A and B are shown apart, each in its own frame.
Chain A
Amino acid sequence: MNTVEVLLVLVGIPLAVIAVLALLTLPGGRKRTRYKPGQPWDHAPVWYEPHPEHPVDTGHGPAPSSGPAAVPGASTAALGSSVYPEQPGERNTDSQDGAGPAAGQGASAHGASVAPRRVDAGPLGGARGTW
């Protein structure tokens, strides 16, 4: 074995193994940073709400849409929205106002065209926590 072969075996092969392992394990192009406590939260506010319950459960077939494309009062949905029903609130991740998203979506999902208005809920309860 001359010097070149020694170098290839003793340096080249370990480097190749390291490179393969690094490619397999290092996360590539991870754009979403995981939340860590104490970090500032610079995302737009989001408001998620549950899917409205449909009285007619179709069982199989495409999921009923709950988005604005659905016909109010019927279980009919527009064709475009039948495969991936719109998630109320998810569309509005870019929305800038905090009070808007879900209530507006919910109102349109039920066919009413009202802006989110204040409804008195009586004596409120709940809890508060910090971490």
Chain B
Amino acid sequence: MTRALETESHDTATEHTAASRSEEAEQSRLDEIFTFQELARLDEALTMSSRETGLRFTLYIGDLGKRTRVQAEEMHARSGAHPADSVLIAVSPGQKVVEVVTGAGASRRLPDRACALAVLSMTTSFANGDLVGGIINGLRQLSDQAGHPASLRRH
């Protein structure tokens, strides 16, 4: 498999210069959790569902604390400039919890019933150990439900 950042650094960096791109990649280990292929799928799913629907989908993967709903809503409020039109999918694999938070504008197009259905299909995949597949299926269901508003149609 071809790795996206499989290059060695040939620059003439000193200790005063910033790290080069390839060195950054080695240090930060971008593919620690997911492979580059899975990251690309996640990236495409997030970007395409956001462009299709006009809502802003973001995905959080990590611990959600004891009060998962409260923390997810707090993060949703900080997720960008217009949280009313954004949707946060927060997955905590350690706690085996997934939270979907929709803002006021987004929840008009994504009723709680639709979110619950998407969450159900996500948890089915998660229980089989398929994190990426579940997330992508959930995103697909959510964006299908939200639809493509006429104001976004250009052609």
A residues with a Cβ closer than 8 A to B are 32, 34-51, 53, 80-81, 84, 87, 90-91, 93-94, 98-99, 102-103, 106, 110, 116-131
Find A103's partner among B4, B47, B50, B79 (CB 8 Å cutoff).
Answer: B79
Q: A37-B126, A120-B83 are in contact. List 7 more A-B contacts (CB 8 A).
A: A32-B31, A46-B33, A48-B60, A119-B78, A129-B123, A130-B96, A130-B123
Whether B73 contacts A124 by the Cβ 8 Å rule is: yes
Number of chain B residues close to chain A: CB under 8 A: 76
- Which residue of chain A has the shortest Cβ distance to B83 in the bound complex? A121
Find B43's partner among A47, A87, A118 (CB 8 Å cutoff).
Answer: A87
B residues with a Cβ closer than 8 A to A are 4-5, 21, 24, 28-33, 35, 39, 42-43, 46-47, 49-51, 56-63, 68-69, 72-84, 86-87, 92-107, 110-112, 115-116, 118-120, 122-124, 126-129, 131
CA distance A129 to B64 in the complex (A): 13
- Say what secondary structure dominates the interface of chain A: loop
- How far apart are B37's CB and chain A's nearest CB, in angstroms? 12
- How far apart are A106's CB and chain B's nearest CB, in angstroms? 6
Chain A residues with Cβ below 8 Å from B63 are: 41, 45, 98
Whether B35 contacts A32 by the Cβ 8 Å rule is: yes
Whether B127 contacts A131 by the Cβ 8 Å rule is: yes
Whether A98 contacts B62 by the Cβ 8 Å rule is: yes
Whether B118 contacts A127 by the Cβ 8 Å rule is: yes
